[in-house]
Amino acid sequence: MSIEAATVQDTYEKMLTKLERLVPAAELRIKAELVYEINRLKKERGALILGHNYMEPALFHTVPDMVGDSLGLSREAANTDKDIIIFCGVRFMAETAKILNPGKTVLLPAKEAGCSLAASITVDDVLKLKEAFPGAPVVTYINTYADVKAVTDICCTSSNAQKVIESLDDEVILFLPDQFLARNVANECGLPITIASRNTDGDINVDKNFTKGLVGWAGTCEVHEQFTVSDIDNVRRQFPDVTVLTHPESPPEVVAASDYSNSTTKMVSYVQESPLKGPFLILTECSMGDNIIAENPDKEILRLCSVRCPHMNQITLEDTLRALTHNEQLIEVPEETRVKALSSVERMLEIS
Ligand code: 13P
Ligand code: SF4
């Protein structure tokens, strides 16, 4: 057996040990070749691979140098000394890495890996809201594109949103664009909330007499908006001792019906650190449930796999290899936009 064949075999055996309950062996054998080649090329090119918690298990457990949530991966992107960053996640995440690293090559393996939240709001919407509430600070979720970050005072992620809001002492704060995250944060901070939206003429509908609390935006995550209280009730009927974990992009009544709600990494840590064996219902993108199963073979994990993120799911090992081989898809952010967006991202990183 050649050295290469032996290393592919070794890669396959490691993948099998970790993933045999989740991925058929025949598929792992094919994927092991891709993993071997990605890791070889990554070393040769001096690249860093970042992987979001929603990546499929055969990718998540094999090629990233670092895995995590939006905040953790932004921190990693800010600190790397590698010249090439491959972001196995969605476009706004890769853009954030580019905002922090203008001189580096940042690659996103799939061109169409977007996000319904990032697509829900434009610069024009933000400027109109600023006009309606002069002087109010703009906090935007990291799930926005660079041009929107450029008209933002400070970014936040699901793990630090409350901290960011509590760092501001203004009476009215624009908190965009996820209406459910905004409602959940308003509940945590004990603040009133109103939700603005764009009408068919492109104008903004908002209560201009609102004088205290959060002004949210009518954006939603196309995945988390679909979970319902009856999903939770059904699972509790079948598994009365289940612990339910949700993401704060879910509707407030779903968060209220669950036992814990936080960022993806905090959900992972919650299961890992819990003295309970389960069952745990992971009410978010199904792949993350798979990844928790692989890391915690002694725990019972439940997930609802009928609701998937079509954007995160576009990132495959094949695309990652292509990105690394051909420098595809190159992420660029115009310098003027980048400089303005950088201050909102840096302000968030300082607070967290
Ligand atoms: P996290 O920052 O919690 O990983 O969330 C990112 C995301 O897109 C969740 O849908
Ligand atoms: Fe965007 Fe929702 Fe997909 Fe996360 S899960 S990337 S918020 S569409």
Burial class for 72, CB neighbours closer than 10 Å (0-12, 13-18, 19+): buried
Please choose, from the candidates 178, 175, 176, the residue with its C-alpha nearest in 3D space to the C-alpha of residue 219: 178
Residue 352 within a domain: no
Q: Which residue among 116, 287, 314 is best mutated to probe the pocket of ligand 2, counting the most ligand atoms within 8 A of its Cβ?
A: 116
Residue 348 within a domain: no
- Closest ligand 2 atom, CA of 311? 3
Alpha-carbon span 255 to 297, nearest angstrom: 27
* CA 349 to ligand 1 centroid distance, Å: 16
307-330 pLDDT, tens digit each: 999 999 999 999 999 999 999 999
Q: How many residues does the chain have?
A: 352
295-309 pLDDT, tens digit each: 999 999 999 999 999
Structure confidence at residue 1 (pLDDT): 64
- 277: helix, strand or coil: coil
4-37 pLDDT, tens digit each: 877 889 999 999 999 999 999 999 999 999 999 9
Cβ of 158 less than 6 Å from ligand 1: yes
Q: Going by CA atoms, what residue is nearest to atom 1 of ligand 2? A: 115
* CA 174 to ligand 1 centroid distance, Å: 20
Q: Are residue 153 and residue 213 in the same domain, yes or no?
A: yes
Domain range spanning residue 188?
118-221
Please choose, from the candidates 319, 333, 316, 264, the residue with its C-alpha nearest in 3D space to the C-alpha of residue 96: 333
Q: Read off the pLDDT band of 75 (50, 70, 90).
A: confident
Neighbours of 310 (CB within 10 A): 12
Contacts of 234 (CB under 8 A, 6+ apart): none
Question: What is the domain count for the chain?
Answer: 3
Q: Are residue 124 and residue 138 in the same domain, yes or no?
A: yes
Residue 344 within a domain: no
Select from 202, 221, 240 the last residue of a domain: 221
Instruction: Give yes or no for residue 3 having a pLDDT over 80.
Output: no
Q: Which residues line ligand 2 (CB under 6 A)?
A: 90, 115-117, 143, 221-223, 249, 285, 309, 311-312
Structure confidence at residue 7 (pLDDT): 87
Instruction: Judge if the upstream peptide bond of residue 279 is cis by omega within 30 degrees of 0.
Output: yes
Cite the DSSP H helix spans in the chain: 3-19, 25-45, 57-60, 70-79, 91-100, 123-132, 146-149, 161-166, 179-189, 229-238, 252-257, 264-273, 286-295, 317-326, 335-351
Backbone φ and ψ of 278, nearest 5°: 120, -170
Cβ of 116 less than 6 Å from ligand 1: no
Structure confidence at residue 352 (pLDDT): 79
Parallel, antiparallel or unpaired: strands 172-176 and 138-141: parallel
Structure confidence at residue 289 (pLDDT): 96
223-280 pLDDT, tens digit each: 999 999 999 999 999 999 999 999 999 999 999 999 999 999 999 999 999 999 989 9
Please give the mean pLDDT across all residues of the chain. Answer: 95
Structure confidence at residue 169 (pLDDT): 93
Select from 172, 192, 221 the last residue of a domain: 221
Q: Are residue 216 and residue 284 in the same domain, yes or no?
A: no
137-157 pLDDT, tens digit each: 999 999 999 999 999 999 999
Contact predicate 314/265, CB 8 Å: no
* CA 143 to ligand 2 centroid distance, Å: 8
Q: Are residue 84 and residue 126 in the same domain, yes or no?
A: no
Q: What does the pLDDT average to over 122-149?
A: 97
